[in-house]
């Protein structure tokens, strides 16, 4: 059975192809259209997906019917108009992809797709599952229990519904400080390190029904005011928000509240499930600072490297496959997208590091998820005092923006205080206090932490080999790794994209050692 999973019509559209529990392809629409956060499927992406053959079934990541019912119930002109005028995923497929006509189309619920993407790529036979995002059909946060021996295997234990939404709150603050909501939340997280959480009490008292979260009111920890209209106009004046330090302080306050509420919801998940294992999914699972706190509640944690809506195309396909075969997805990692053939450029990688260059690598299958993990990356030696500013200048980003270290897994604990006592973090999903910030300043944020990516022989053998040689030569088992893109643009996808990047920005991009 060949399954085509689709997530689209809101932001960051994607598709996934599965057959016999194998993930054959997973890609983002934006990488093909070159339109950041593209909501719509395009012919180029679908052509790559359909190279594997026409599907036997198409599974959508949410219910268009329930989504539009919720929009109507909001009783605002914009939401009602959207419900009656915006094209649905079903209509989009029928209009633009006639070759798919006659193929059965079904759907999961939005939060089921999130949960499925996490559970079906985990190693757990049983686990608590927590999803937190902006909004699905009605749900904005859910707790499930997954038990492979039960029927159904995925059981809903708790839900928070619109208009109560931690994700919408964080997006509203993102907008308030002048950033783009549903896209720049990770920038807000970075800003938090340069502020003080002086508005956290104000947020808790004025926006949340329960200013204090205790063991007695954990069920209410994600309940807020009606976030469908954003922050109240009287929460903070436009004049105040024009001040950069106030922006930093508001970011720090929102981040602290977000961390507290996520940790409280995890505590509730533990109460419902009493498992040592947690799968965390949804857009809020991209908050790597908050993620690091979850080890206070759970011993083992899995966050699929594409936990937002784009990853739900995989979740929808994998969940449908499981319910029909009782087989989980054969997850081998996030390298699932467009393939640039050739030998991973180890020799050129090492030569550029020796020269002190900032350089790109575009080789192999593109990463499925928002973070480059070695196949569409921009690299540099992290030891230079000016490297961080130079890379931010190339990427047209704010100077405060941090970069991630990629480190040989066996040396991770020597350089970083890894969360949970584990030495593996293959998908840049946690932060860790850096033990030697004076040596690798380019990958240390303003609060002394780093968003660590570890690499081992199994995860990415070519990158592991190259980094091991760099360690032998330099004594440093770490390089700076960030996505091969410019602020506001999608990550490089094809050879043509790589050449264009090289031409426009004067940065060498290595394709192959061949």
**Average pLDDT for residues 295-317, to the nearest whole number?**
97
In a domain, 117, yes or no: no
Neighbour count for residue 181 (Cβ, 10 Å): 18
**Domain harbouring 278, CATH code:** 3.30.420.40
- Residues 266 and 139 both lie in one domain: yes
Q: Is the pLDDT of residue 398 over 70?
A: yes
Confidence at residue 36, expressed as pLDDT on a 0 to 100 scale? 95
d(CA 166, CA 163): 10
Confirm whether 262 is domain-assigned: yes
Residues 317 and 344 in one domain: no
Mean pLDDT of 182-206: 93
Whether 331 has a pLDDT exceeding 90, the answer reads yes
Closest to 210 measured CA to CA, from 145, 133, 268, 292: 268
3-state DSSP assignment of residue 204: helix
Same domain, 425 and 385: yes
Q: For residue 144, which of 53, 13, 17, 265 has the smallest C-alpha distance?
A: 265
Per-residue pLDDT tens over the stretch 228-263: 778 888 889 989 999 999 999 999 999 999 999 999
Q: Are residues 341 and 328 in the same domain?
A: no
Tell me which residue range forms the domain holding 235.
122-303
Are 390 and 493 part of one and the same domain? yes
Whether 485 maps to a domain, the answer reads: yes
pLDDT tops 90 at residue 224:
no
User: Considering its fold, how many domains does the chain have in total?
Assistant: 3
**How far is the C-alpha of 484 from the C-alpha of 100, rounded, in Å?**
34
Give the pLDDT confidence score for residue 75 in this predicted structure. 67
pLDDT, tens digit (0-9, with 9 covering 90-100), for 282-294? 999 999 999 999 9
Q: Which residues contact 216 (CB under 8 A, 6 or more apart)?
A: none
For residues 387 and 468, state if they share a domain: yes
Write down the pLDDT at residue 400: 77
- Domain match, 279 and 132 both: yes
pTM of the model: 0.96
Q: 264 and 192 in one domain?
A: yes
Phi and psi of 422, rounded to 5°? -95, 155
d(CA 307, CA 115): 9
Pair 58, 161 in one domain = no
Q: What is the mean pLDDT of residues 295-303?
A: 97
* Cβ-contact 359, 509 below 8 angstroms: yes
Give mean pLDDT, residues 58-83. Answer: 88
171 vs 232, higher pLDDT: 171
Which runs of consecutive H residues, i.e. helices, occur in 34-63? 43-50
Say how far apart CA 413 and CA 136 lie, in whole Å. 38
Pairing, β 154-161 against β 139-147: antiparallel
The string of pLDDT tens digits covering residues 332-370 is 999 999 999 999 999 999 999 999 999 999 999 999 999
- 260 plus 382 within the same structural domain: no
pLDDT tens string 402-440: 789 999 999 999 999 999 988 999 999 999 999 999 999
The C-alpha atoms of residue 164 and residue 235 are separated, in whole angstroms, by 17
The pLDDT assigned to 356 comes to 95
- Decide: 59 and 317 in contact? Cβ < 8 Å: yes
pLDDT at 484: 97
Is the same domain home to 487 and 442?
yes
Mean pLDDT throughout 144-169? 95
- Residue 491 contacts residue 366 (beta carbons within 8 Å): yes
Cβ atoms of residues 307 and 283 within 8 Å = yes
Instruction: Report, in this order, helix, strand and coil percent for the chain, each rounded to 5.
Output: 40, 20, 40
Residues 261 and 185 in one domain: yes
379 pairs with which residues across the strands?
A: 359, 481
pLDDT tens digit string along 40-58? Answer: 999 999 999 999 999 999 9
376: domain CATH number is 3.90.870.20
* Nearest C-alpha neighbor of 56 from the set 20, 101, 3, 7: 3
């Amino acid at each position: 059975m060949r399954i085509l999973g689709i997530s689209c019509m809101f932001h960051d559209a994607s598709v996934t192809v599965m057959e016999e529990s194998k993930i054959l392809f997973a890609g983002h629409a934006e990488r093909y259209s070159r339109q950041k956060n593209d909501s719509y499927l395009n012919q180029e992406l679908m052509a790559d997906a359909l190279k594997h053959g026409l599907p036997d079934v198409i599974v959508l990541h949410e219910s268009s019917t329930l989504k539009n019912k919720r929009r109507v119930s909001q009783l605002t002109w914009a939401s009602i108009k959207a419900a009656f005028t915006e094209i649905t995923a079903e209509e989009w497929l029928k209009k633009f992809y006639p070759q798919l006509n006659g193929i059965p189309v079904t759907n999961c619920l939005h939060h089921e797709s999130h949960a499925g993407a996490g559970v079906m790529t985990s190693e757990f036979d049983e686990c608590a599952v927590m999803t937190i995002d902006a909004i699905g059909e009605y749900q904005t946060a859910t707790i499930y229990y997954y038990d492979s021996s039960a029927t159904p295997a995925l059981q809903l234990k708790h839900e928070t519904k619109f208009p109560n939404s931690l994700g919408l709150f964080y997006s509203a603050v993102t907008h308030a400080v002048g950033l783009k909501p549903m896209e720049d939340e990770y920038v807000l997280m970075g800003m938090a390190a340069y502020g003080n959480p002086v508005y956290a009490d104000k947020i808790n008292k004025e926006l949340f029904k329960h200013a204090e979260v205790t063991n007695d009111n954990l069920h209410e920890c994600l309940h807020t005011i009606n976030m469908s209209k954003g922050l109240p106009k009287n929460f903070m004046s436009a004049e105040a928000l024009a001040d950069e330090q106030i922006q930093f302080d508001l970011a720090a306050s929102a981040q602290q509240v977000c961390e507290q509420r996520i940790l409280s919801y995890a505590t509730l998940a533990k109460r419902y499930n009493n498992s040592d294992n947690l799968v965390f999914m949804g857009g809020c699972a991209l908050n790597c600072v908050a993620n690091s706190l979850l080890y206070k509640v759970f011993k083992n944690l899995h966050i699929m490297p594409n936990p937002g809506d784009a990853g739900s195309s995989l979740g929808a396909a994998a969940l449908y496959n499981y319910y029909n075969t009782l087989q989980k997805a054969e997850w081998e990692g996030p390298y699932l997208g467009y393939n640039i053939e050739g030998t991973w450029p180890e020799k050129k990688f090492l030569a550029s590091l020796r020269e002190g260059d900032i350089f790109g690598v575009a080789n192999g299958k593109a990463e499925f998820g928002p973070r480059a993990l070695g196949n569409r990356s921009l690299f540099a030696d992290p030891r230079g005092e000016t490297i961080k500013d130079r890379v931010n200048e190339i990427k047209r980003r704010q100077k405060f923006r941090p970069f991630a270290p990629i480190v040989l897994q066996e040396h991770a604990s020597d350089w970083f205080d890894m969360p949970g006592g584990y030495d593996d973090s293959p998908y840049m999903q946690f932060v860790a206090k850096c033990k030697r910030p004076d040596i690798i300043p380019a990958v240390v944020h303003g609060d002394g932490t780093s968003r660590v990516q570890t690499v081992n022989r199994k995860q990415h053998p070519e990158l592991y080999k190259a980094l091991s040689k760099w360690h032998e030569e330099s004594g440093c088992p770490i390089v700076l790794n960030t996505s091969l893109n410019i602020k506001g643009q999608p990550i490089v996808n094809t050879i043509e994209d790589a050449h264009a990047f090289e031409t426009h920005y004067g940065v060498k991009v290595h394709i192959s050692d061949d």
